[in-house]
């Protein structure tokens, strides 16, 4: 009988749930929305700064600084949160990780969108084909191709190879760019002095050509400077020996 009475009392016992505070819930959600909005604004502004880095700095430096920006942005977020007096006393590590993730992904998204078409053309123009040849006269039918080897700084002639003095040297490049080529200049230098500067002629089909008369012997650095329509540029250097 005692067991039956106990079971009946357990069955009749009511489960009490805590009262749901609607006002507190709404206020908490508004605080979280405000914090997320701040994260998005900070991330968007830093994404714009990362784009400016890519536009005006070298690729390596721009990439390094761009990936540092989300970390700086997190401290900016903390500063703003304190200034606007958003209650973060209840925050746990997961909340902080979430806000950092929002800032990081926003920076990355804005950055990638802005450096690609149709917003901009950041990729530098490049040389897809290079040919150097020489002859003793402009009207010669026997132009000799110069062998070139790739180096860390560009191209050079193999050791022992020379171009005879007073030769005409023909530089031909195929240059490509997303936005189109604006101009290509061939700069001949010896030591720290520029010997000659020649605007390369557009021959069609992305091919550009320049002729230089090597009237003096020496070691020369031939720099091909390429600018595209959006002022992105690249340089290709060729070391030649004239004797």
Cα–Cα nearest to 178, from 90, 119, 109: 119
Residue 241 predicted with pLDDT over 80? yes
Domain that holds residue 99: 23-114
- Residue 224 is predicted with a pLDDT of 96
Indicate whether 82 and 135 sit together in one domain: no
- Residue 8 is predicted with a pLDDT of 52
Indicate whether 94 and 155 sit together in one domain: no
Mean per-residue pLDDT for 207-215?
95
Which one-letter DSSP state was computed for residue 206? Answer: T
- The string of pLDDT tens digits covering residues 7-62 is 555 555 666 666 766 676 677 778 888 889 999 999 999 999 999 998 778 778 88
Provide CB contacts within 8 A for 51, sequence distance 6+: 110, 111, 114, 115, 120
Indicate whether 99 and 158 sit together in one domain: no
- The string of pLDDT tens digits covering residues 189-202 is 998 888 999 999 99
- The string of pLDDT tens digits covering residues 75-126 is 999 999 888 878 777 888 998 999 999 999 999 999 999 988 777 766 788 8
Report d(CA 3, CA 194) in Å as an integer. Answer: 107
The number of beta carbons lying within 10 Å of the beta carbon of residue 6 is 10
Question: Last residue of a domain, which of 82, 114, 146?
Answer: 114
Indicate whether 101 and 162 sit together in one domain: no
Q: Cα-flanking dihedrals φ and ψ of residue 160, to 5°? A: 95, -15
Number of domains in the chain: 2
Indicate whether 56 and 142 sit together in one domain: no
């Amino acid at each position: 009988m005692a067991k039956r009475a106990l079971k009946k009392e357990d069955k009749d016992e009511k489960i009490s749930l805590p009262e749901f505070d609607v006002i507190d819930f709404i206020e908490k959600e508004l605080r979280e929305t405000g914090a997320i909005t701040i994260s998005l604004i900070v991330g968007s502004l830093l994404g714009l700064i990362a784009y400016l880095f890519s536009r005006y700095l070298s690729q390596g430096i721009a990439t390094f600084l761009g990936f540092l920006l989300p970390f700086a942005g997190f401290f900016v977020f903390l500063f703003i949160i304190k200034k606007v007096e958003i209650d973060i006393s209840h925050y746990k590590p997961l909340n902080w990780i979430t806000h950092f993730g929002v800032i990081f992904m926003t920076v990355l998204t804005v950055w990638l969108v802005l450096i690609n078409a149709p917003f901009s053309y950041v990729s530098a123009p490049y040389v897809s084909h290079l040919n150097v040849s020489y002859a003793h006269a402009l009207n010669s039918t026997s132009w000799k191709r110069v062998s070139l080897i790739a180096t860390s700084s560009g191209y050079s002639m193999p050791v022992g190879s020379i171009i005879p003095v007073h030769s005409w040297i023909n530089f031909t490049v195929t240059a490509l760019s997303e936005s189109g080529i604006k101009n290509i200049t061939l700069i001949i230098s010896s030591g720290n002095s520029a010997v000659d500067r020649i605007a390369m002629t557009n021959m069609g089909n992305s091919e550009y050509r320049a002729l230089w008369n090597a009237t003096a012997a020496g070691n020369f650095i031939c720099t091909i400077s390429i600018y595209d329509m959006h002022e992105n540029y690249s340089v290709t250097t060729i070391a030649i020996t004239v004797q």
